[in-house]
Amino acid sequence: WLELARIRHKYNYNKYFYLELMSISKLRGIFNTDKGGSYSNEYEVSFKFDDNLNADILSRLKYYGFNPSSSSEGAYSDMMFLCDEASLPGTFAATNEVDGVYAGRLIQYPHAKLYNDMRLSFIQTNQLNPQKFFEAWMGGMFPEYSMNQSGGGEILPAERERRRTVTNTVGLRYYNEMTCNMRVQKTYKNSTDPSGENSCYYDMINAYPYSIESVPLSYGASTLNKLRVSFRYEKHVVIFYDQKGA
């Protein structure tokens, strides 16, 4: 009885310490079961272009040295490595309001599933490769044509003098020729493979850049330039890597 009283006194005196130890042990057990905590700097971003539908845009990208269809290392893979900010996209419900069903109560009911815009940020190099890539993509979405009948045809990136002509008209490419699928893959490190494993991936269907933000330049503190690009898409599909596989 004396020993039991001593233990009870010790617990009452340090009960918060024991509760804290129990919380840490439980948190550690959860992390061990779920393969650790998720960190924000473990992800990959990629674009999947169609060789036939996106042929015109791919030709513009290849002019600047990008080949998204190639699996080997190159300017495209280097540029995607410079993507320093991304996000796992969100979903929200569009709502309408009904008033008067009950006195003093406003009912908001969901009627459509909507998707948030996607925003990526890239570290700029002195060759401005991210800027080249998305300017070429945007230029392929809105090709320019010369009003001069002798020239004719779509103006290509290499035709610098024709691109400067003020009277050029701006066209619009077909929707399925300017969009592609974009993937954001959440990864994590493990003790057996340096490249880690995958938690999930989001496929954005028919994505296209709609905003290339301006890059501010100023005298003062020297910082890395970053290019931020916003995308819109039709829908996204999420696949989780769990016990059922991907």
The answer to whether 157 and 132 have CB atoms below 8 angstroms apart is no
Q: What pLDDT score was predicted for residue 103?
A: 75
Contacts of 121 (CB under 8 A, 6+ apart): 83, 84, 85, 86, 226, 227, 228, 229
Q: What pLDDT score was predicted for residue 134?
A: 95
Q: Which residues pair with 107 in a beta bridge?
A: 98
Question: What phi and psi, each to the nearest 5 degrees, are found at residue 86?
Answer: -150, -175
Q: What pLDDT score was predicted for residue 244?
A: 56
pTM across the whole model: 0.79
Specify the amino acid at residue 121: S
Q: What pLDDT score was predicted for residue 162?
A: 85
Q: What pLDDT score was predicted for residue 161?
A: 87
Scanning 15-54, the segments in alpha helix (DSSP H) are 15-33
The answer to whether 89 and 118 have CB atoms below 8 angstroms apart is yes
The answer to whether 89 and 116 have CB atoms below 8 angstroms apart is yes
Q: What pLDDT score was predicted for residue 53?
A: 93
Helix, coil or strand: residue 144: strand
Q: Strand runs (DSSP E) across the chain, as ranges?
A: 43-48, 83-85, 91-99, 106-115, 118-123, 144-145, 169-170, 180-188, 197-212, 226-232, 235-240
Q: What pLDDT score was predicted for residue 19?
A: 47
Residue with tokens 């840490």: 24
Give mean pLDDT in consecutive 10-residue pieces for the chain, a chain of 246 residues.
Answer: 48 51 66 70 89 92 88 83 90 87 81 91 92 94 83 82 87 94 86 71 94 90 92 92 62
Q: What pLDDT score was predicted for residue 220?
A: 84
Q: What pLDDT score was predicted for residue 1?
A: 45
